[in-house]
Amino acid sequence: MYVELHARSAFSFLEGASLPELLMARCAQLDMPAMALLDRNGLYGAPRFHIAAQRAGTRAHIGAEIAVRDAGERMRPPQWLPHQVPIEPVRLSILAETQLGYQNLCRLITRYKLREAHKAEGAASLSDVAEFAAGLVCLTGGDEGPLAAALARGGYDAALREIGRLVHIFGPRNVYVELQRHFEREQEHCNQAAVRIARTLHLPLLATNGVSYATPYEREVLDVLTTIRHHCTLETAGRLLTSNAEHYLRSAREMQQLFRDLPEAIENTGELSARLIFEMSDLGYRFPDYPVPQGDTMQTFLEKRTEEGICNRYQPKCDETLFARAQKQAQRELSLIAKLGLAGYFLIVWDIVQFCGREGILVQGRGSAANSVVCYALGITAIDPVGMDLLFERFLSEERGEWPDIDLDLPSGNQRERAIQYVYQRYGELGAAMTANVITYRGRSAARETGKALGFDADTLNRLTKLVSAWEWKDKDDSLGRNFHDAGFDIQHHRIAKYVELCQRMQDLPRHLGQHSGGMVICGGQLNAVVPIEPASMPGRTVIQWDKEDCADMKIIKVDLLGLGMMAVLKDCLTLVPEHYNQPLDLAQLPPNDPPTYRALQQADTVGMFQVESRAQMAALPRNVPTCFYDIVVQVAIIRPGPIVGNMMNPYMKRRRGREKVTYYHPLLEPVLKRTLGIPLFQEQLIRMAMIIANFTGGEAEELRRAVGMRRSMARMRDLDGKLRRGMTANGIAPAVQNEIIQSISSFALYGFPESHAASFALIAYASAYLKCNYLAAFTAALLNNQPMGFYSPATIVKDAQRHGLRVKPVDVQHSDWPCTLEPEPSNAHRFTLRLGLCYAHGMRRDTALPLLAARAQRAFMSIQDLVLRVPELRKSDLALLAKIGALNSLGEVEHRRDALWQVEYAGRPAGPLLEELPEEESAASPLRQMSIEERLVADFSGTGVTVGRHPMAFHRAQMRQMGILASCDLAGLPHGRNVRIAGCVIARQRPGTAKGFVFLSIEDETGIANAIITPAVYEQFKQVVVYEKFLMIEGELQNQENVISVKAREIRSLQISQAEVRSHDFH
């Protein structure tokens, strides 16, 4: 028997070429009973390795290669050889024998990782290793290890001393002298010395293959990764590359053949494997207890808080029945929470929400937590689950045996950071950390890095990576090879063919570790004994070595503190509205049926509104005609890939408008699907359907839901499919109906929405719509101050606001603040204009703007010279920028932008201290002519990204009319099927994965936004124009049905309207 006990995966980041799953699959293929994973300086791949082992029925031993800084430098080629191997510390190969050993390994890695001020590899000291040596087994390693390094450094005696030191640290029983045979002469020299040392010190020998990839073929990928690591090319890498392809996972037979002279080295692998009793099934993770007052338990404390919350939430509703139902549901939930021991979890999330409340930070729970009345009572969520009849089992069930998932939405930016820092402060540096986000090689990054390795120049790579298709939709011909061909590469050339092949093989390999956007892991006891923690790039943050799916697999609870741009907008509105409109604003008490709000939603007048602003939403809103809050819930959920792929959207719309009869797949399903007119739209419905028609238990149904919702679980979904069919057959459901039901369930794969989540989002959507319709100036200012977010660029948001009657003023050094602000209209103090902030001057730094604002607060600027003298922080480029965008036009003696440019060029020149106080000698008017309209547009878009003047199309309207081109506002009055021409600047391009290759364009003119649909054939014909041109003329058939208007393109031409850098939001 042979067990491979030294393997690196791709999670050794650029030092291994195979994913842990692939290594384990190969291990199972070779009938190896177990295998060990020792990644460099971490346990990054351990959970995946462990889960893969569980599925394959093998054992996964866990360990790591630990860099030790005072154990010498790792072996390098002799000095007289030309080489470029960088100096690196020796790495100790360590295996966890027991749970204590695993905990020590985690603590050891955390210790030296956190010692680094910034994100870095780091290295342990021998004293660290000695402190955490209990429960660990040490191998002497391959060429990265201490034995090879000591031999190279000081010969046999040094090596003997080094191994003696390891024996002193780990004990004689826990040090194995490792032998590797990669058919290299120098290695055999090392092996002979190793055998002598083992005999001298009476240590066991251990054969390993120092695996870096699963199969020899992957050596090529490892070589590419090596060049990426060392910033060189394959041609120049020299001896940095491996000398052969022997570092693969060998079978027992091959290893026995290789070590036939030392059979005990093979036998010892089995013995050591048997000794390694630790498995990752139990990590000893525990959620922290919440401190409660004396006399209370966490459960009683939670019950009290819930009771208070129920009263606060439901008594104002003055509905006794509802109140009673809420109390009953709360009792049911609390008893389940008590049974599952989850009171502490709820209290800790409640504690974060309380902190946000105290600090005035908006917070709202999203996801399935909104199904719980306890969460509603505790203020974690804002949706009444009892009133909306939401399914609690989607959130929590006894059978599932897992922790519930509560996600909190916070305003993005500083406020979210404060909440995160509160958690760190509350649970300690070693008690909480962010979850990781593994950044992998994707199309563009793979093409770029592989191209560099193959020695392609930067220009070529830029051209290629720009052209690598990034649409969501991929047609059958949209291969990497075709992208290369489109980029001008000859894919028949062997070097290019190899490039394409390598790019494909690089896909999905880990590149580096980032941090998750908001997932925080909290631990009772010490988190660093469960998983290693390391510093994140962001100051004040730490991150664990696993991503969120690994955490779920390892049953580690995370609380998501997610940043939501719209929450920041709402928060800003909470300040702006009372300050300027002198009206109180309480998001919890918004008028529920505000007519202007619903009118705007029905007319798809939704630019800037949360979740309902996209082109697809706009196309659906006039058909859905929302009239109540639940309609918005449905609206948020229905424009998702799941319902669209499942062909649920159209039937729902028809049924809603009474054009199709409401039917059900089976009479049994009527109670479940009645609310959505017989069409399943929500995950909760999926769960209930499985329970009713296939006799699934709640837990099984939830497992089904998870299987269709997770990328990694497609295989599990197939298993459950059989079970589902058997259950339906038992209930006498016909095979054809079974197929329909399974199709509707499968459509949820990856993209299904829980009803509670949709309801939480719908609340924010309604709030954003209400604010836009009632406080347009404040809402627009907040929206512009929190960019980038949403579907549209600031330019489109400004134009939309202007069409709604808001006056927008340009950036002005005499009036603008750093953010966009409101100014009362001189004629009407209750109407406001929006002043663009200095933050919209591209290239202007806040550090420069603040002294400017401080100087202006003392007194207004008299002239450009005055500005330059009083704000020395302004560089010449800043002044030129401000002049170019017209921000200096209100200064004395400035007549127009070019006048300002002429003056700043003089005033901004470097003058010595002796001359800087001298008055301006020149007073003659600028010789430069005023900017033309086109020049002003170009300056506006390049300098601020927006224009507050007329839309570029407005200047060409007469010409457009001559060409038979209609304005977008004209389309509503024309009949369906008529041939029309429209034109405008492209503001969004989409090729959704669900749309079978169709491309959707949103084009804007001075009257509004028009939508165009491009079939795949037309797209192929006009691809270059569609993708690259800024202004387009589109001719085609008008589709005007149910107030949804679009043009089905037949011909597309580019228009020379303006050179302005208008930007489109392209969905890649």
Which residues make up the interface to another protein (CB under 8 A)? 78-84, 182-185, 188, 219-220, 223, 234, 238-239, 241, 243-246, 454, 456-457, 459-460, 463, 485, 487-490, 493-496, 498, 880, 884, 898, 901-902, 905-906, 909, 922, 924, 927-929, 931, 935, 939
Q: How far is CA 305 from CA 93, 368, 375, 695, in A?
A: 51, 21, 11, 37
Burial 991-1010 (b: 16+ CB within 10 A, else e): bbebbebbbbbbbbbbbbbb
> Concatenated DSSP letters for 434-483?
EEEEEEE--HHHHHHHHHHHTT--HHHHHHHHHHS---S---TT--HHHH
Q: Which is nearer to another protein, 441 or 770 (CB)?
A: 441
In the complex, the smallest distance separating the C-beta of residue 485 from another protein, rounded to whole angstroms, is 7
Please tell me the distance from the alpha carbon of residue 680 to that of residue 676, in angstroms, as a whole number: 7
Q: Are 874 and 867 in contact (CB under 8 A)?
A: yes
Q: Which is nearer to another protein, 201 or 496 (CB)?
A: 496
Shortest distance (Å) from residue 876 CB to another protein: 10
* Contact assessment for residue 206 and residue 265, using Cβ atoms and an 8 Å cutoff: yes
Which tokens go with 945?
């990204």
Cβ proximity to another protein: between 188 and 549 the closer is 188
| Pick 69 or 485: Cβ nearer another protein | 485
Task: Check: CB of residue 676 under 8 Å from CB of residue 755.
Answer: no
- Smallest distance, Å, CB 852 to another protein? 21
CB 461 → another protein: shortest distance, Å? 11
Place of tokens 């203020």: 379
Q: How far is CA 981 from CA 73, 768, 951, 962, 1002, in A?
A: 71, 34, 19, 11, 14
How many alpha carbons fall within 13 Å on the CB side of residue 534?
Answer: 23
- Minimum CB–partner distance for residue 447 and another protein (Å): 15
How far, in Å, CA of 1 to CA of 520, rounded? Answer: 43
- Let me know: does 875 contact 845? Beta carbons within 8 Å: no
Query: CA geometry: angle at 459 spanning 453 and 464, to 5°?
Result: 75
In this complex, which beta carbon is closest to another protein, that of residue 747 or of residue 903?
A: 903
We find the least distance from the C-beta atom of residue 1027 to another protein, in angstroms, to be: 15
> Least distance in Å: CB of 494 to another protein?
5
Considering the complex, what minimum distance in angstroms separates the CB of residue 898 from another protein? 6
Q: How far is the CB of 1028 from another protein (least distance, A)?
A: 14
Q: In this structure, what token pair is assigned to residue 776?
A: 């347009």
- Please state, in angstroms and rounded to a whole number, the distance separating the CA atoms of residues 592 and 629: 8
C-alpha angle 36/514/422, rounded to 5°? Answer: 110
Q: Report the nearest approach of another protein to the CB of residue 80 (Å).
A: 5
Judged by CB, which is closer to another protein: 493, or 845? Answer: 493
Output the six-digit token pair for 819.
């953010």
Cα separation, 447 vs 443, whole angstroms: 6
Radius of gyration of the CA atoms of the chain, in A: 33
Q: What are phi and psi of 232, to 5 degrees?
A: -140, -175
Number of other CB atoms surrounding residue 75 within 10 Å = 23
- CB-wise, 82 or 293, nearer to another protein? 82
d(CA 443, CA 226): 19
Secondary structure of residue 836 in the 3-state scheme:
coil
Of 454 and 694, the one with the shorter C-beta distance to another protein is 454
DSSP state, 120? -
- At 573, list the tokens: 């509105």
Give least dist CB 930 to another protein, A. 9
Q: 1005 with 1041: CB under 8 angstroms? A: no
- Closest CB to another protein among 723 and 876? 876
Closer Cβ to another protein, 229 or 463, answer by number? 463
Residue among 156 and 998 whose Cβ is closer to another protein: 156
Under 8 Å between Cβ of 998 and 1015: yes
Measured between alpha carbons, how far is residue 884 from residues 272, 495, 533, 820, 864 in Å? 73, 48, 49, 19, 13
Closest to another protein by CB, 54 vs 1054, is 1054
State the minimum distance, in angstroms, from the CB of residue 194 to another protein: 17
User: Chain-centre distance of CA 682, in angstroms?
Assistant: 23
Query: In this complex, which beta carbon is closest to another protein, that of residue 535 or of residue 886?
Result: 886
> What single-letter DSSP state applies at residue 580?
I
Query: How far from 510 is each of 14, 45, 218, 448, CA to CA, in Å?
Result: 8, 10, 15, 15
**CA dist., res. 860 & res. 690, Å (int):** 70
DSSP at 213? B
Q: Return the number of the residue (223 or 534) whose C-beta is nearest another protein.
A: 223
Tell me whether residue 236 or residue 663 sits nearer to another protein (CB atom): 236
Spatial neighbors of 728 by CB under 8 A, at least 6 apart, are 693, 694, 737, 738, 741
Question: To the nearest whole angstrom, how small is the minimum distance from the Cβ of residue 811 to another protein?
Answer: 17
Query: Of all residues in the chain, what percent are helix, strand and coil, respectively (each to 5)?
Result: 50, 15, 35
Q: How far is the CB of 456 from another protein (least distance, A)?
A: 7
Q: Does the N-terminal peptide bond of residue 788 adopt cis geometry, omega within 30 degrees of 0?
A: yes
Q: CB of residue 688 vs another protein: minimum separation in angstroms? A: 56
Residue 1031, helix vs strand vs coil: strand
Least spacing, CB of residue 511 vs another protein, in Å: 21
- Distance, CA of 219 to CA of 241 (rounded, Å): 10
Considering the complex, state which of residue 455 and residue 824 has its C-beta at the smaller distance from another protein. 455
Nearer residue to another protein within complex by CB, 426 or 463: 463
* Least distance from another protein to the Cβ atom of residue 238, Å: 3
Choice between 599 and 929, CB closer to another protein: 929
Question: What's the min distance (Å) between Cβ of 235 and another protein?
Answer: 8
